[in-house]
Amino acid sequence: MSNEENEAFLEKLILEGAIEVSGLDSETGEFLYGFTPKILDLFPEIYNEHINYINAKVLSLWSQGFLDVRLDENQEMVIKITEKAIDPEQVNTLSKDDKFSLEEIKRISRLD
């Protein structure tokens, strides 16, 4: 997709209520977007791709020792950050993408 096509599709997702602005990137100042519950009904393929991406990131961070992942009594996944995840030197060894994913997990865990 060209940049114009990407922007048009992003606008469509916003107008249809599938995504919304969730914040600003502290490094670039660009908008960050989050899915709304409508994404599953309107664009299930995008939702599924996103879930697969999240699962891959969790697995990667777990295998590197930044997350503890287990199933609870209801067979639901419980994800917790480890000591390594709060050590700035260790976090700085991560790729930019993994670092962003870890920071998002930390941010979300503070909301619970």
The residues spanned by each domain of the chain are 1-42, 44-112
Contact between 32 and 19 (Cβ < 8 Å): no
pLDDT of residue 90: 96
**Among candidate residues 57, 46, 61, 59, the one with its CA nearest the CA of residue 9:** 46
pLDDT level of residue 30 (50, 70, 90 thresholds): confident
pTM above 0.85, yes or no: no
User: Mean pLDDT in the chain?
Assistant: 90
Angle (CA) 88-98-4 rounded to 5° is: 130
Q: Which two tokens stand for residue 89?
A: 């030197």
Residue 108: pLDDT band by 50, 70, 90 thresholds?
confident
pLDDT score of 52 more than 90:
yes
Rounded mean pLDDT of 77-81? 90
